[in-house]
Amino acid sequence: MPWVKGEEFVDLKQRFEGLEIEEKPTLTTLQVPKAKLIDLLKTLKEEKGYKLFLDHSVVDFPDKRPRFQAFYTLYNVEEKKRVLVKTWTDGLLPSIEKLWFAGKWAERECYDMFGIQYEGHENLVRAFMWETYQHYPLRKDFPLEGYATEYLPSLNETLWGENLQGLMNYDRMHTQVPTLEDLEITERRRLQKKAQIVLNWGPLHPGTHGTMWFLFDLEGERVYQCDVILGQLHRGVEKLAENEMYNQFLVYTDRMDYLSALCSNQAWVVAVERLLGIEELVPEKAKYIRTMMAELQRINSHLLWLGAYALDLGALTIFLYAFKEREKLMDIIEGITGARLTISYTRVGGVRMDLPEGAVEVIRAFVKRFPKELKEWETILSRNRIWLRRNVGVGVISKEDVYFYGLTGPVARGSGVPYDLRKFEPYDAYGWVDFDVPVGESGDVYDRYLVRLEEMRQSLRIVEQCLHALEKMPKDAPFFAESPDPKKLKLPLDGIGLKVPEGEIYSSGENPRGELGFYIYSTGGVKPYRVKIRPGSMYNLCVYPKLMKDRVVADAVTILASLDPVVGEIDR
Amino acid sequence: MEGLIVWLIITLVKILVILGIVLGVGAYLTLVERKVAAHIQRRPGPMVVGWHGLLQPLADGIKLLTKEDLFPRYGNRFLYNLALVMALVPATLVFAVVPFGPEFKVFGVEVKPILTDVNVGLLLVFALGSMAVFAIALAGWASNSKYALIGSMRKAGIVVSYEVVITFAVMGPIILAGTLSTYEIVQKQIEQELWYIWLQPLAFVVYMFALLAETGRVPFDVQEAEAELVTGFTVEYGGMKFGLFPLVEWYIEVLSLSAIAVVLFLGGWSPINIPFLGFVDPLFFLGPLSPFVWFILKVSLLFLFVLWLHWTLPRYRIDQITETAWKVMLPLTFVNLVLTAVIAPVLWG
């Protein structure tokens, strides 16, 4: 387990009055009064080496006083240890933006979702909702269906009014939606014009890879300042998680990072398994299958990134080459799981079904021919003079920036931080297979490109080893966890009856876009009390305004594509 | 009097033939481009309309012509439409001075297959080329869109830079030939038994670079960079008005500049050249048609080369393009100019 031992913090007990250290099998927490919070975090960052900021959010307890429990997840990259810092508040917290910039975005999200005020936050604006929205959706007293005070009627409603017949005549409850005026107010809150023109880049723009809304304040073609408006794809996944059973929530993880659904599935079920304490019970075969499928999905996701990235830089042909290979992967995944995009293949305790006949051979054929294709593309791009001039030295992220902005995944590795959860906290079969973690040197866009290409090769290595292990297993090996006592632990497919004990856990998986973490707070029962998702894409994106400063518009696509955000995961 | 009538008839026929060829071929080059791109990308390309998609340009044309004519709010309608004319007319006019072949006789009348053999033909070409920048600047301005404005400013920057480069690049062949008339330049190359590319390789490379930049082809297609500027200055145009800009930029201009390149560097309609020794014509069996076929072959090869680059390379950034123009290309053309000025008198002094 990567959680720190409690005894390491005994010396802090004298310095911080009221510090409580709690060590559970799932995580280690430090609880501290609000007044001491900033000091403690600073000590952890500067003296104890917990430099990488992972996550921050709050849990709402409407019946308790103070009402909100805030938590901060930190990581010590050198010693490979995690710690969770907790504090209680009634709606006011000190801001940590001086310690970690990523905290600024996390705080904006908490302000948006819970109405927490932050002292010393420079720009406390809503993260996802628009500025004129009155409510705080993740509070427990916010109804699941939203408030039907104001809404845009559908075309049918406008035409037929109350005369809608049959299925159309449902009880029309709408969540409030922003009008054009609301959006203009939001836009003005986000960016004060200082240079020549403000260019609205998005929300519907081919360069943003999704519905993100960027504001560029341009001086000629030079970006003077830049801001991001999120929330175009906000669906309240965390709110939904509180109202779904553990296995039911699995399908929502598909729809977060829709390009790497299998990896998200895996991260979620591993988190639930750890919370249940049945990680050991999951059969070896299921673990190998999960690992192999996740790695295929990683290649799939990186292929889409490569295609879109080359397209952004004008190399149109690579896009089609990459998509051709991706199509084959999609076919393989479809043949095994039955779905192409939103897959939901894994289950708590195993996988939904065994590998079909011939799957191993098909994957073997793919593994054999894919490196040749990869080499061909590299011939076109990697040493291409134009490609180098567009990429080298653009969007440089230093190691300190990685910690300061909470970057993970290939973005962090491109800057030379070997942070890979598959190595640090091996889940499923990652502990049993052999692979390398590629890291970059200078941290520019070109390094991130090379890292991702190499990751595809390493993924192939993992897939090969998984295939080897799977072939050796007997055909009727179990692919689903079975309890030693058949009456005690039942893990039916639909998830009903999956009773999870009280407890909390922060568990994460290595997604193609960074660390996808789940903080699950369970009060027992079939539904989680609170699920905080740590989206890799969102924290990776928070470095974007900094990188864009004093760059030209043409670099906007280069840098954005190299951070590779997926809006479904950012907005959730 | 009779001479005037004959001249008028001949000129009218020439205009009709050239216009028909340019616009018809321009439309069909869209199909060529799509097919070439498709095969580079390992897919079949248009296959449905007609045999191997042969009627696809027709279908595209009908689709574009029947589309709604949209106009951006607060745009300038006069300039918006003027930009179209400014784009199409100069690009087509360049063909007035392109010689397609040697003089021949029809019904006892001597006909030069060139619309007007003015003695400042090349000057006309580059004067008309400079007009293209107006079309783009006007289109960007009149559209009342930030994307269009940025795109047109980028393109204007490129055209202005490369206009200088291209003018200095063609200076070499002009010195060697001692004339500005396109027809005469080809004649000189045939007389001297020398394609000027053998003496002017540097100028040829620079010319091809400038051709790509002026026509907005990859790797210089920053003005329409679809990922960052959607499609640049054409973003507010719809229907055939939208179709016209790529038609002019990507096909007619590439075609005309390739034809000029063939005239200047590749000996126009002359067959394969062995420097200073003579010409070898593997197409001798075509008889009097052979020069025309050679001309078309050379232009097509250059066009295919442009397509090949377009569908292979990524694109530069605008600052890198203009930097290359001023810091690399222009000094190179100066060097070339000086060398030519020294060599030419030595050879034919």
**What ipTM was assigned to the predicted interfaces of this complex?**
0.82
Q: How far is CA B137 from the centre of its chain?
A: 20
Tokens representing residue A500 in the block: 């999870």
Per-position DSSP letters for A166-180, written without gaps between them: GGG-----------H
Write out pLDDT tens, residues A49-66.
888 888 888 988 888 888
CB B208 within 8 A of CB A537: no
Q: Is the pLDDT of residue B304 over 50?
A: yes
Q: Is the pLDDT of residue A24 over 50?
A: yes
User: How many Å lie between the alpha carbon of B23 and the closest alpha carbon of chain A?
Assistant: 27
Q: What percent of chain A has pLDDT above 70?
A: 92
**Span A12-30, mean pLDDT?**
79
User: How many Å lie between the alpha carbon of B317 and the closest alpha carbon of chain A?
Assistant: 6
For chain A, give the mean pLDDT: 83
Write out pLDDT tens, residues B135-160.
888 888 888 888 888 888 888 888 88
Instruction: Find where tokens 């639930």 sit.
Output: A272
First vs last C-alpha separation in chain A:
28
**Angle at CA of residue A420, ends A414 and A426, nearest 5°:** 165
Which CA distances in Å does A95 have to A100, A106, A516, B50? 10, 10, 24, 67
What pLDDT score does B50 carry? 82
User: How many Å lie between the alpha carbon of B314 and the closest alpha carbon of chain A?
Assistant: 4
CB contact under 8 A, B229 and A556: no
Nearest to A554 among B40, B147, B228 (CB): B228
- Cα B182 to Cα B120: distance, rounded to the nearest angstrom: 8
**Span A500-507, mean pLDDT?**
84
B-chain residues near A200 (CB < 8 A): 146
Interface of A with B (CB under 8 A): 197, 199-200, 205-207, 218, 221, 310-317, 320-321, 324, 380-381, 384, 386-387, 389-390, 552-557
Contact B327/A at CB under 8 A: no
Write out pLDDT tens, residues A428-475.
888 888 888 888 888 889 999 999 999 999 999 999 999 988 888 888
| AA letter at A347 | R
B-chain residues near A390 (CB < 8 A): 314-317
A-chain residues near B317 (CB < 8 A): 389-390, 552, 554-555
Percent of chain A as helix, strand, coil, to the nearest 5: 45, 15, 40
**Span A526-545, mean pLDDT?**
88
- Which residue of chain A has the CA closest to B154? A221
Contact B103/A at CB under 8 A: no
Q: Is the pLDDT of residue A487 over 60?
A: no
Strand-pair category, A52-60 with A68-76: antiparallel
What pLDDT score does A496 carry? 53
Which CA distances in Å does A138 have to A80, A507, A570? 32, 21, 16
Beta strands in A526-558 (DSSP E): 530-534
CB contact under 8 A, A206 and B227: yes
CB contact under 8 A, B41 and A321: yes
Least confident of A17-21, B56-60, B193-197, B306-310: A17-21
What pLDDT score does A484 carry? 59
Beta bridge partners of A229: A213
Least confident of A413-427, A486-500, B18-32: A486-500
Nearest to A221 among B40, B41, B318 (CB): B318
**H, E, C per residue of A223-284:** EEEEEEECCCCCCCHHHHHHCCCCCCCHHHHHHHCCCCHHHHHHHHHHHHHHHHCCHHHCCH
Give the pLDDT band of residue A157 (cuts 50, 70, 90).
low
Neighbours of A476 (CB within 10 A): 8
What pLDDT score does A162 carry? 65
- Which residue of chain A has the CA closest to B40? A317
User: How many Å lie between the alpha carbon of A210 and the closest alpha carbon of chain B?
Assistant: 12
What pLDDT score does B312 carry? 85
**H, E, C per residue of chain B:** CHHHHHHHHHHHHHHHHHHHHHHHHHHHHHHHHHHHHHHHCCCCCCCCCCHHHCCHHHHHHHHHHCCCCCCCCCCCHHHHHHHHHHHHHHHHHHHHHCCCCCCEEECCEEECCCCCCCCCHHHHHHHHHHHHHHHHHHHHHHCCCHHHHHHHHHHHHHHHHHHHHHHHHCHHHHHHHCCCCHHHHHHHHHHHCCCCCCCCHHHHHHHHHHHHHHHCCCCCCCCCCHHHHCCHHHCCCCHHHHHHHHHHHHHHHHHHHHHHHHHHHCCCCCCEEECCCEEECCCHHHHHHHHHHHHHHHHHHHHHHHHHHHCCCCCCCHHHHHHHHHHHHHHHHHHHHHHHHHHHHHHHC
| AA letter at B51 | W
CB contact under 8 A, B311 and A324: no
**Span A102-129, mean pLDDT?**
86
Strand-pair category, A92-94 with A52-60: unpaired
B-chain residues near A322 (CB < 8 A): none
**Span A131-153, mean pLDDT?**
76
**For B267, left (φ over 0), alpha (ψ -120 to 50), or beta?**
left
For chain B, give the mean pLDDT: 84
Beta bridge partners of A86: A31, A71
Beta bridge partners of A518: A507, A533
B-chain residues near A313 (CB < 8 A): 227, 314-315
Q: Is the pLDDT of residue A520 over 80?
A: yes
A-chain residues near B148 (CB < 8 A): none
CB contact under 8 A, B312 and A317: yes
Most A CBs within 10 Å: which of B307, B313, B318, B322, as the mutation test of the A interface? B313
Write out pLDDT tens, residues A384-422.
888 888 888 888 888 888 888 888 889 988 888 888 888
CB contact under 8 A, B314 and A381: yes
Contact B328/A at CB under 8 A: no
Write out pLDDT tens, residues A324-377.
889 999 999 998 988 888 888 888 878 888 888 888 889 999 999 899 988 888
Most A CBs within 10 Å: which of B315, B317, B319, B328, as the mutation test of the A interface? B317
What pLDDT score does A493 carry? 44
What pLDDT score does A299 carry? 92
What pLDDT score does A495 carry? 46
CB contact under 8 A, B219 and A310: no
- Write A73-76 long-range contacts (CB < 8 A, 24+): A73/A506, A73/A517, A73/A519, A73/A534, A74/A41, A74/A44, A74/A45, A74/A50, A75/A50, A75/A51, A75/A419, A76/A4, A76/A48, A76/A49, A76/A50, A76/A51, A76/A52
CB contact under 8 A, B146 and A199: yes
CB contact under 8 A, A386 and B318: no
